């Protein structure tokens, strides 16, 4: 979000829903459940689908929450360090887990695979990208924020992954 009166970030980070990922989860749950039809019949397939789809949606929500915490943490640290965060927005389309952090030095894109436990996060600025497991990014958020702060403010190529 962006505060027009002060041209400063208000501290909020929107929460996306990755519809494509949820469609893949639903499709895989349906495929896996259909295997149960010959062995347990339709009732078992319906139960299996419900369990698999619920598990997939919960894994997506947990992964999304982790990516949201990483994005929020990076933006907060960059704002504190003086990068001049102006806004944090969802990327166009709103069907991916992608944010654009608008800074005085230009936009930084933070995206990832929001499916725990295999969540990945990618940070991209002017062609330099760092991709790492979301758990690692979350564990070393301060170091990651500092190295990318230097990348954005100095324009040097610092790869932390």
Residue-wise pLDDT tens digits, 81-97: 877 888 898 887 666 78
**Residue 110, domain member (yes or no):** yes
pLDDT the model gives residue 92: 73
Asked if omega into 117 is within 30° of 0 (cis), the reply is yes
Range of the domain at 96: 16-154
**Residue 115, domain member (yes or no):** yes
**Residue 40, domain member (yes or no):** yes
- Closest-CA residue to 128 (of 104, 105, 108, 102): 108
pLDDT the model gives residue 93: 64
Residue-wise pLDDT tens digits, 15-27: 887 888 889 999 9
**Residue 148, domain member (yes or no):** yes
**What distance in Å separates the CA atoms of residue 154 and residue 100, rounded to the nearest whole number?**
19
Under 8 Å between Cβ of 108 and 86: no
**Residue 2, domain member (yes or no):** no
Stretch 107-128: mean pLDDT, rounded? Answer: 89
Count the domains in the chain. 1
**Residue 8, domain member (yes or no):** no
């Amino acid at each position: 979000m962006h505060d027009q009166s002060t041209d400063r970030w208000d501290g909020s980070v929107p929460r996306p829903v990755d519809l494509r990922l949820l469609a893949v989860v639903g499709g895989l749950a349906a495929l896996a459940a259909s295997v149960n039809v010959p062995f347990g019949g339709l009732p078992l397939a319906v139960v299996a689908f419900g369990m698999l789809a619920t598990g997939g949606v919960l894994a997506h929500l947990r992964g999304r929450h982790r990516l949201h915490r990483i994005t929020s943490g990076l933006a907060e640290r960059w704002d504190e360090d003086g990068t001049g965060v102006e806004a944090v927005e969802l990327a166009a389309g709103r069907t991916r887990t992608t944010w654009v952090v608008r800074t005085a030095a230009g936009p930084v894109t933070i995206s990832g695979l929001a499916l725990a436990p295999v969540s990945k996060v990618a940070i991209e600025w002017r062609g330099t990208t760092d991709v790492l497991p979301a758990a690692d990014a979350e564990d070393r958020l301060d170091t990651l924020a500092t190295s990318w702060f230097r990348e954005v403010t100095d324009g040097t190529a610092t790869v932390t992954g």
